[in-house]
């Protein structure tokens, strides 16, 4: 047996099983190149991936201050019991990260304590003004709070949710028994902090699957998609599994094919797109500076984690990307009230959605809108719809065209009447 064979056999024998599947990743270079800023924190590091960055050290002192204020409020003088609890979770928590953390055990426990307590106290202070310090810059300066808002939604900037659960249970105030159950709940507090996001329907505390929530971004994803998932299951799957389907044309081409666009007025989810009787009904979407960051990180969460099927946000972004090829498409959707463009530039909206789908995997088997796509394409292929669309495009696209056509028809009718009268006289 050769020395190389022995060496490889020894390496194979030393490999350990993988009993735990990590779910907090670093975004790969391909996705990062599309828009690096949407994946990296500006002010707040949560978790180990951005822990030692020099540009983020300002908030480390603020984390210590929040921990100090929490201990003071609870009449505690030491963090001993919290350190002990987190030491029990350290090994499990470190396995949640797919990439090397480069932190020693004590450093990792310290990071969990400061990051976890900061997040919990931030959520509590956001809901209850009485807990805020009068000189707290987070609540004095809206800009800082907005930056923290974005940083906490980053895919790489997460803490395992079971760490937050343990710290939250340990820091409940035992003297306040009259707190409503919804308020005294980490899920409600966390979602309340992101109240400006669409589709965050606050469920009852008993409705949250505590064993399935991976981290804060995962909670936002699951809550955002929950109403759409329930609706899909009640109606039957949107995906037309096992059948061939094709992507749809852009907004301008669909209009030319006779399809009408309407802003949905009744919908239970932003993702609830319908096509009925030649009309594509789409819930309104507000596009702000935070939209791309949110969509990119939610899509990354779907792309990297097993068991998240269908890819609701990936499929939604793919749908909108199909509709918007050029700034003209974005302009038309804005005209119909489907897009509320806070960026002020239709070209910026077009560029954003065109780049969202780069290097993203769309699962053709579970694609949510395959049935909708199929209906749209079938509508476009019917000769009658194409003929009517061409008629509208060529003869009814402006008031002058309508006047000219009306005049031609009138002239034709007068000629016919004159001809009939001549025949009758003859």
126-135 average pLDDT score: 92
Backbone angles phi, psi at 192, to 5 degrees: -60, -35
- pLDDT number for residue 11: 79
Q: Quote the pTM value.
A: 0.84
Q: Where are the alpha helices (DSSP H) in 101-215?
A: 105-127, 137-140, 142-151, 161-170, 186-193
In this prediction, residue 423 has a pLDDT band, given cuts at 50, 70 and 90, of: confident
Is the per-residue pLDDT at 418 higher than 80? Answer: no
> 422 is written with which tokens?
């001549």
In this prediction, residue 22 has a pLDDT band, given cuts at 50, 70 and 90, of: very high
Question: How does strand 279-282 pair with strand 260-263?
Answer: parallel
User: What distance lies between CA 372 and its chain's CA centroid?
Assistant: 21
Residue 356 CA neighbour count, 13 Å, CB half: 28
Is the per-residue pLDDT at 318 higher than 60? Answer: yes
- pLDDT number for residue 212: 82
- Residue pLDDT, tens place only, 213-228: 999 999 999 888 887 8
Lowest pLDDT segment from 97-111, 179-193, 216-230: 179-193
Largest CA distance in the chain: 117
- CB 274 within 8 Å of CB 265: no
Q: Where are the alpha helices (DSSP H) in 179-311?
A: 186-193, 216-235, 251-256, 291-304
- Residue pLDDT, tens place only, 4-21: 877 887 878 776 655 568
Is the per-residue pLDDT at 328 higher than 70? Answer: yes
Residue 22: CB atoms within 10 A of its CB come to: 14
- pLDDT number for residue 228: 85
In this prediction, residue 1 has a pLDDT band, given cuts at 50, 70 and 90, of: low
- CB 45 within 8 Å of CB 62: no
Q: How far is CA 119 from CA 104, 175, 341, in A?
A: 22, 22, 31
- pLDDT number for residue 214: 94
- pLDDT number for residue 196: 77
In this prediction, residue 338 has a pLDDT band, given cuts at 50, 70 and 90, of: very high
Lowest pLDDT segment from 137-141, 157-161, 178-182, 375-379: 178-182
Q: Where do the structural domains in the chain lie, given as residue ranges? A: 23-213, 237-384, 401-425
| Most confident region among 224-228, 256-260, 307-311 by mean pLDDT | 256-260
- pLDDT number for residue 394: 56
């Amino acid at each position: 047996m050769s020395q190389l064979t022995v060496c490889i056999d020894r390496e194979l024998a030393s490999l350990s099983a993988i009993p735990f599947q990590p779910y907090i990743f670093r975004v790969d270079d391909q996705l990062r190149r599309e828009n690096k800023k949407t994946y990296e924190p500006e002010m707040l590091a949560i978790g180990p991936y951005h822990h030692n960055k020099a540009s983020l050290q300002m908030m480390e002192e603020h984390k210590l201050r929040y921990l100090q204020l929490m201990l003071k409020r609870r009449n505690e003088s030491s963090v001993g019991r919290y350190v002990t609890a987190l030491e029990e979770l350290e090994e499990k928590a470190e396995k949640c990260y797919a990439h090397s953390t480069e932190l020693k055990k004590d450093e990792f426990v310290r990071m969990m304590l400061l990051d976890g307590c900061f997040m919990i106290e931030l959520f509590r202070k956001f809901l209850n003004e009485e807990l805020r310090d009068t000189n707290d810059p987070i609540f004095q300066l809206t800009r800082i709070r907005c930056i923290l808002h974005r940083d906490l939604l980053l895919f790489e900037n997460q803490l395992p949710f079971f760490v937050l659960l343990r710290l939250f249970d340990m820091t409940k105030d035992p003297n306040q028994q009259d707190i409503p159950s919804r308020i005294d709940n980490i899920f409600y507090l966390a979602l309340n902090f992101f109240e400006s996001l669409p589709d965050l329907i606050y469920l009852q505390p008993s409705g949250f699957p505590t064993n399935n929530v991976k981290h804060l971004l995962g909670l936002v994803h699951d809550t955002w998609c929950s109403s759409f998932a329930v609706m899909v299951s009640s109606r039957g799957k949107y995906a037309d599994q096992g059948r061939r389907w094709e992507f749809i044309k852009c907004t301008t081409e669909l209009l030319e094919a006779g399809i009408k666009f309407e802003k949905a007025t009744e919908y239970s989810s932003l993702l609830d797109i319908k096509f009925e009787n030649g009309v594509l009904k789409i819930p309104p979407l507000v596009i702000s500076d935070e939209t791309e960051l949110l969509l990119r990180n939610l899509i990354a969460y779907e792309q990297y984690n097993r068991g998240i099927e269908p890819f609701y946000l990936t499929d939604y972004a793919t749908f909108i990307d199909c509709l918007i090829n050029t700034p003209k498409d974005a302009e038309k959707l804005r005209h119909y009230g489907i897009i509320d463009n806070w960026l002020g530039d239709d070209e910026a909206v077009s560029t954003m959605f065109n780049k969202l789908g780069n290097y993203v995997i769309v699962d053709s088997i579970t694609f949510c809108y395959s049935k909708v796509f199929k209906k749209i394409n079938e509508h476009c292929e019917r000769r009658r719809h194409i003929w009517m669309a061409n008629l509208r495009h060529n003869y009814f696209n402006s008031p002058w065209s309508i006047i000219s056509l009306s005049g031609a028809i009138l002239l034709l009718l007068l000629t016919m009447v004159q001809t009939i009268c001549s025949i009758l006289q003859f």
